[in-house]
Structure 1
Amino acid sequence: MPRTSRKRSETGFYHVILRGNGKQNLFETDKDRAAFMEAARSSFSRDSVTLIAWCLMDNHVHLIIDDPLDRISTAIQRVTSTYAMYFNHTFGHSGHVFEGRYGSVPIIDDEQLLAAVKYVHNNPLKGMGITPDRYPWCSYSEYVSGVSRFADIDTLLELLGGTQAFVMFSINDNVTGYRPAFKKYADEDERATLAQQVFESFGCTATGVKELPKKTRNQVLKALCECGLTVKHVQRLTGIGEWTIRNAAGRINKR
């Protein structure tokens, strides 16, 4: 079956994720992490791709990139092949290191760019309970210190108004949530936060959705589904029937 073409970003910005094949660890030591970042630095430089933000977890990597010349595929392939050679040589491994195709989400505007960067920096908090300021293998410290190692921090700092504004943005819980489109559904621990953000944006509560005018009610139901909640979860939250939710979300033929 032929692969579908990737969605191209009109802004040039993308959120990229790379996963270890079969969920295997990509990094065992800090030396491995440093090798990956050097591969990224070299590869992106050759393809005129700018790294805006990054985070290395044990078995996956998040990157926010600016790709004005539409070279994302070549650049990412160069990064992964370079690191895979290092990984296989270091660990006596053979076969694929990374899982299939990389995931990419086109970023459409400044608001989504900021939210994506915050999402990336918060990965250690979500995955390991480590706050970004205590995690050395993400770009958060570059932004806070104002000293760039791998990321181009100027774009975001100019957008926000400096390092202090970046810190305030990062700790602000009222900033709109972000869930990358390569995740079909939100994780269990994300659902309550995402749902609450939707309810607050419409000025309602979960149990009050059914009392809203039909048009507004359907907008809320659609927003809940689009932010990553399953129909069944929305049904449990709101007490509204499954088919009403499916109809509002445009999922009338989906189970």
Structure 2
Amino acid sequence: MARPLRIELAGGLYHVTSRGNAHHDIFLDDDDRLCWLEIFGQVCERFNWICHAYCLMTNHYHVVIETIEGNLSAGMRQLNGVYTQSFNRRHQRVGHVYQGRFKGILVEKESYLLELSRYVVLNPVRVLMVSLPGQWKWSSYNAMIDSVISP
């Protein structure tokens, strides 16, 4: 049976997650996280995405993105594919890094963007990795707060 097609809208807002294969870690160290962020930045630029929030955990990540051109699947294929190649090359591995397809949920921008962004950056606090969201350097929390506080 064929997989259902994803709803991809120009101007769509998505909560996207991708988890490690068999729940294994997708980030083994800070260099992996820096590599992912570099690739993510390139994908956002190439596919004309707006990133509203992100959080890199150990075995998964969350992003809140707006797809100006309705190209979520193409961008995610690039992001997860290029990161998998880099991760496998760096750690002398082969095979899957991610477990199946990414999960992308289309959400209502006006009513849910703030709450969703809060949920994403508070993820490390909820699972007791840190006690305050600003202590986790692998999310957009500090950048979001700095842009609000700084003139």
TM over 0.5: yes
Residue in structure 1 matched with residue 135 of structure 2 by the alignment? 134
Q: What is the SS of the residue equivalent to 1:89?
A: helix
Residue in structure 1 matched with residue 52 of structure 2 by the alignment? 52
d(CA) in 2 for partners of 1:79 and 1:96? Answer: 14
Residue in structure 2 matched with residue 92 of structure 1 by the alignment? 92
On the 8 A contact 1:121/1:132 being kept in 2, the answer is yes
Relative distance call for 1:125 and 1:9 in structure 2 (3 A) is: farther
**AA aligned opposite 1:19:** R
Number of aligned residues: 148
d(CA) in 1 for partners of 2:86 and 2:120? Answer: 25
Residue in structure 2 matched with residue 33 of structure 1 by the alignment? 33
d(CA) in 2 for partners of 1:116 and 1:107? Answer: 9
User: TM-score scaled to structure 1, two decimals?
Assistant: 0.56
Choose between structure 1 and 2: higher strand proportion: 2
- Alpha-carbon shift at residue 51 of structure 1 (Å): 1.3
Structure 1 consecutive aligned stretches of length 4 or more whose deviation exceeds 6 Å: none
Residue in structure 1 matched with residue 114 of structure 2 by the alignment? 114
Q: What is the SS of the residue equivalent to 2:100?
A: coil
**AA aligned opposite 2:136:** Y
- Alpha-carbon shift at residue 84 of structure 1 (Å): 0.5
- Alpha-carbon shift at residue 109 of structure 1 (Å): 3.0
- Alpha-carbon shift at residue 7 of structure 1 (Å): 3.1
User: TM-score scaled to structure 2, two decimals?
Assistant: 0.92
Please show how residues 147-226 of structure 1 align to structure 2 within 5 Å.
163=148
d(CA) in 2 for partners of 1:48 and 1:10? Answer: 11
Residue in structure 2 matched with residue 143 of structure 1 by the alignment? 144
Q: What is the SS of the residue equivalent to 1:51?
A: strand
- Alpha-carbon shift at residue 128 of structure 1 (Å): 2.6
Choose between structure 1 and 2: higher helix proportion: 1
Q: Could you give the per-residue CA deviations for residues 151-203 of structure 1, whole angstroms, max 9, x where no partner exists?
A: xxxxxxxxxxxx25xxxxxxxxxxxxxxxxxxxxxxxxxxxxxxxxxxxxxxx
- Alpha-carbon shift at residue 110 of structure 1 (Å): 1.8
d(CA) in 1 for partners of 2:14 and 2:31? Answer: 27
Pick 1 or 2: higher relative contact order, CA cutoff 8 A, min separation 6.
2
Gaps of 5+ in 2: none
RMSD, matched Cα: 1.4
- Alpha-carbon shift at residue 111 of structure 1 (Å): 2.1
On the 8 A contact 1:11/1:108 being kept in 2, the answer is no
- Alpha-carbon shift at residue 90 of structure 1 (Å): 1.1
Relative distance call for 1:102 and 1:39 in structure 2 (3 A) is: same
Gaps of 5+ in 1: 147-162, 165-255
Computing the radius of gyration from Cα coordinates, the structure with the larger value is 1
